[in-house]
């Protein structure tokens, strides 16, 4: 019996050693976290900056940048897509506000600030509006234009004339707002399944005020998003009929619903963007 117990203990030793060893968390290669305080609303954010392979060696090369919202949700998809489809690009993910009220974070999740930062109009529900403060996209865009661009372009070798944006869902609404309010914010816009139903009238008024939009825009949604696609199609008609002679518009329909269309949107959007970069050379 003692021999059997000894054999069992010896067999379990590797497992006991494994449990006793503290495993190191994995960090994404060539990615660093840049803390950044907003000079607009005073909130604390982070930029997740992923540099291309060879950045440290090619000291004379400057790179286009893809800025994207919902950073922790999108970093894996965009890193994978650019690794295979567009190597020479810097990725900058803008986080949600890190120092939100603890009770809000506990009840609504770490992404709660996106309801305020990415939306262009207030909610008609007074209780929801008081809680989430919808409709502050103007402040978030000012933060990006004033603070994010300044920090990134001072620290990294970038090509400001080739800034691109990727946003999905509410991030797509925010990107469409940036396109219409300040078209020069980015040169290229990838807008996946933009949730614009409640804001289409406001966005239409912004479009009517613009004389020239000099930008390239990729818009998509899933083929199983009937409600959302109706609003997007309506706005695409407005964009196409607005006589914006310098607006290049590409529209694609992905397979799946709102969640299922995300990976293909990243892959197709980056493919579209890489083709535009080739055209520049």
Pair type for strands 188-192 and 65-68: unpaired
Residue 267 sits at φ, ψ, to 5 deg, of: -65, -50
User: For 66-97, how does the pLDDT look when each residue is reduced to its tens digit (9 = 90+)?
Assistant: 999 999 999 999 999 999 999 999 999 999 99
pTM (predicted TM-score): 0.91
Detail the DSSP E strand segments found in 125-270.
164-168, 188-192, 215-222, 247-254
Nearest to 188 by CA among 167, 218, 150: 218
What does the CA dihedral 80, 82, 83, 88 come to, rounded to 10 degrees? -160
Helix (H) / strand (E) element for 71: namely helix 71-85
pLDDT at residue 206 tops 50 = yes
Position with higher pLDDT, 160 vs 1 = 160
User: For 167-195, how does the pLDDT look when each residue is reduced to its tens digit (9 = 90+)?
Assistant: 999 999 999 999 999 999 999 999 999 99
Q: How confident is the model at residue 17, as a pLDDT?
A: 54
What burial letters (b/e) apply to 36-60, b meaning 16+ CB within 10 Å?
bebebbebebbbbbbbbeebeeeee
pLDDT at residue 6 tops 50 = no
3-state secondary structure the chain: CHHHHHHHHHHHHHHHHHHHCCCCCCCCCCEEEEEEECCCCCCEEEEEEECCCCCCCCCCCCECEEEECCHHHHHHHHHHHHHHHCCCCEEEEECCCCCCCHHHHHHHCCCCCHHHHCCCCCCCCHHHHHHHCCCCHHHHHHHHHHHHHHHHHHHCCECHHHCEEEEECHHHHHHHHHHHHCHHHCCEEEEECCCCHHHHHHHHHHHHHCCCCCEEEEEEEECCCHHHHHHHHHHHHHHHCCCCCCEEEEEEEECCCCCCCHHHHHHHHHHHHHHHHHHHC
Cβ atoms of 220 and 231 closer than 8 Å: no
User: For 97-141, how does the pLDDT look when each residue is reduced to its tens digit (9 = 90+)?
Assistant: 999 999 999 999 999 999 999 999 999 999 999 999 999 999 999
User: For 44-54, how does the pLDDT look when each residue is reduced to its tens digit (9 = 90+)?
Assistant: 999 999 999 99
Q: How confident is the model at residue 240 (pLDDT cuts 50, 70, 90)?
A: confident
Distances (CA, A) of 225 to 15, 174, 175, 221, 253: 48, 19, 19, 7, 10
- Least confident span in 17-26, 77-86, 260-269: 17-26
d(CA 50, CA 71): 11
Q: How confident is the model at residue 25 (pLDDT cuts 50, 70, 90)?
A: confident
Summarize the confidence of residues 143-165 as an average pLDDT. 97
pLDDT above 90: percentage of residues in the chain: 81
């Amino acid at each position: 019996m003692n021999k059997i117990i000894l054999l069992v203990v010896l067999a379990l030793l590797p497992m006991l050693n494994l449990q006793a060893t503290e495993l190191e968390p994995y960090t994404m290669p060539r990615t660093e976290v840049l803390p950044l305080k907003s000079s607009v609303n005073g909130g604390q954010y982070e930029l997740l900056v992923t540099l291309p392979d060879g950045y440290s060696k090619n000291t004379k090369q400057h790179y286009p940048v893809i800025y994207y919202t919902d950073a922790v949700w999108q970093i894996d998809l965009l890193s994978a897509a650019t690794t295979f489809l567009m190597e020479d690009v810097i990725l900058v993910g803008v986080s949600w506000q890190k120092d939100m009220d603890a009770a809000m974070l506990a009840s609504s999740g770490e992404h709660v600030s996106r309801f305020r930062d990415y939306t262009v109009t207030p909610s008609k529900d007074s209780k929801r509006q008081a809680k989430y403060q919808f409709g502050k996209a103007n402040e978030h865009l000012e933060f990006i234009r004033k603070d994010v661009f300044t920090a990134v372009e001072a620290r990294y070798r970038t090509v400001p004339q080739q800034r691109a944006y990727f946003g999905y869902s509410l991030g797509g609404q925010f990107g469409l707002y940036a396109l219409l309010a300040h078209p020069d914010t980015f040169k290229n816009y990838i807008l996946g399944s933009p949730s614009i139903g409640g804001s289409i009238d406001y966005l239409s008024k912004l479009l009517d005020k613009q004389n020239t939009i000099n930008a390239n825009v990729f818009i998509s949604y899933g083929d199983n998003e009937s409600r959302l696609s109706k609003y997007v199609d309506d706005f695409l008609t407005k964009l196409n009929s607005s006589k914006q002679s310098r607006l290049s518009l590409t529209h694609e329909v992905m397979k799946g619903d709102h969640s299922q269309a995300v990976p293909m949107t990243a892959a197709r959007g980056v493919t579209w963007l890489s083709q535009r970069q080739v055209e520049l050379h």
